[in-house]
Amino acid sequence: MYVYLLVKYLLKRKKIEFSFKKIFSSSAIIASLIIIFSLTFYQLNEVSTSTAGTLESKFEEDGKYYIIFDKQQIRTSENEFLLIDANQAYFITYSWNRKIKEKAKIQTIESIN
């Protein structure tokens, strides 16, 4: 809003010239800043969790493999999915985002037994 009013004021006072090159470069800078702030915000909410417990269940959905561990749905690779068993004790490390909790990804998994 403030940027719009500033540009409007400067155009009225003839302080800036209206050219395609300036508009394009200004738009590119503003778009870059928005992207940088969005990615920074996303990364600041990235969390890594390590816990030990019993694997509740595992399932496949649309060619993607998931496990349920401590009421958290965690995506795994096909190889990990085939090697682990439900109702077994594991030590697991996974990363997830506070804003998008259903997008957790497994980092490491080790059998406790």
pLDDT the model gives residue 18: 63
pLDDT the model gives residue 35: 95
Q: Where are the domains of the chain?
A: 2-44, 47-111
Vertex 51 angle, CA 50 and 53, to 5°: 155
- Indicate the pTM of the whole model: 0.64
CATH class of the domain at 47-111: mainly beta
The Cα 36–Cα 29 span in angstroms is 10
3 vs 37, higher pLDDT: 37
Q: State pLDDT tens for residues 37-80.
A: 999 998 899 999 898 988 889 999 999 999 988 888 899 999 98
Q: State pLDDT tens for residues 5-36.
A: 777 777 777 655 667 777 788 888 889 999 99
pLDDT the model gives residue 60: 92
Determine phi and psi for 88, rounding to 5 degrees: -115, 155
